Amino acid sequence: MSIFASLQLGEVEVSNLTIIILAFFSSFTFLAVGISSYKLYKSLINDDK
């Protein structure tokens, strides 16, 4: 049994490795946007002069 089995999505066959890579990049992007938004919000709240 191969660890890189494929998943049938309608007529398209997608390997598990592709799904793992897409999930990694999606979560990385989500985390980066979250950190950026948090820093922006934090800079708007702070009134250091």
Residue environment code for 24-48, b if the CB has 16+ CB neighbours within 10 A, otherwise e: eeeeeeeeeeeeeeeeeeeeeeeee
With respect to residue 23, please indicate whether it lies within any of the assigned structural domains: yes
Q: Would you state the pLDDT for residue 10?
A: 77
Contacts of 4 (CB under 8 A, 6+ apart): 15, 16, 17
Q: Would you state the structure tokens that stand for residue 48, as one six-digit string?
A: 């250091």
With respect to residue 17, please indicate whether it lies within any of the assigned structural domains: yes
30 vs 18, residue with greater confidence: 30
11 vs 2, residue with greater confidence: 11
Contact (CB, 8 A) for 4 and 16: yes
Whether the predicted model's global pTM rises above the 0.85 cut: no
Number of domains in the chain: 1
Residue 12 belongs to domain spanning: 6-45
